[in-house]
Copies of this chain bind each other. A is one copy, B any other.
Amino acid sequence: MHQDFESILKSSGQSVTKPRRAVFDALTRADSPLKNGEIAKLTPSIDRASVYRTLELFAKLGITTTTIRGWTPFTELAEPFKPHHHHMICERCGVVEEIESDTLEDMLTILASRHHFTLRSHTVELSGVCASCSKNLPQPTSL
């Protein structure tokens, strides 16, 4: 794993540095997407600016993916550092389930090619009401 990560840096002409290793390690240890600020706190010896620069580089190299919740971006490792998956979020209780479907993946590629695009990456986020919430709370949560 680490090896793969360092080869990605090297093969794209980037240096293997302490901040980059630290951020990668923090993301590896995390079991869910992290805010930028959380990543910074998990790497106390690394300057905030370097964390941001690292995160931008990782995004550009496809090492990480970022999604948004509220106004806040959350980052997690992408493939092959984490198995490919998508999220299904319950809007009542917030539970997150992982989605996997080869058929979906194939379809996205086909859709892209229909637009003459070569698909390089994608995000899919589903939001709804989970089984237990629709049992227990037949009425939508009041605002």
A111 B116 Cβ-Cβ under 8 A = no
Q: How would residues 110 to 134 of chain A score, 1 for a CB under 8 Å from any chain B CB and 0 otherwise?
A: 0110011111111111111111001
Tell me whether B130 and A117 are in contact (CB under 8 A): yes
Q: Among the listed stretches A19-27, A42-50, A101-109, which one makes contact with chain B, having 4 or more residues with CB under 8 Å of it? A: A101-109
Q: Which residue of B lies closest to A100 (CB)?
A: B111
| Partner among B14, B36, B121, B134 whose Cβ is within 8 Å of the Cβ of A127 | B121
Say what secondary structure dominates the interface of chain A. mixed
- In the complex the two chains form, is A97's CB within 8 Å of B115's CB? yes
Report A97 CB to chain B, min CB distance, Å. Answer: 6
Complex Cα spacing A73 to B70, Å: 9
A124 in contact with B123 (CB, 8 Å): yes
Q: Which residue of B lies closest to A74 (CB)?
A: B68
Instruction: Find A122's partner among B61, B68, B119, B126 (CB 8 Å cutoff).
Output: B126
Q: Return 15 A-B CB contacts under 8 Å, by A number.
A: A57-B143, A61-B143, A67-B68, A73-B73, A90-B117, A99-B115, A107-B107, A108-B124, A111-B126, A112-B128, A116-B130, A120-B127, A121-B127, A122-B125, A122-B127
**A12-B143, A56-B70, A120-B129 known; 17 other A-B pairs, CB under 8 Å?**
A57-B143, A59-B70, A61-B143, A88-B112, A88-B115, A90-B117, A97-B117, A104-B108, A108-B124, A111-B126, A117-B126, A117-B128, A117-B130, A117-B131, A120-B128, A121-B128, A123-B123
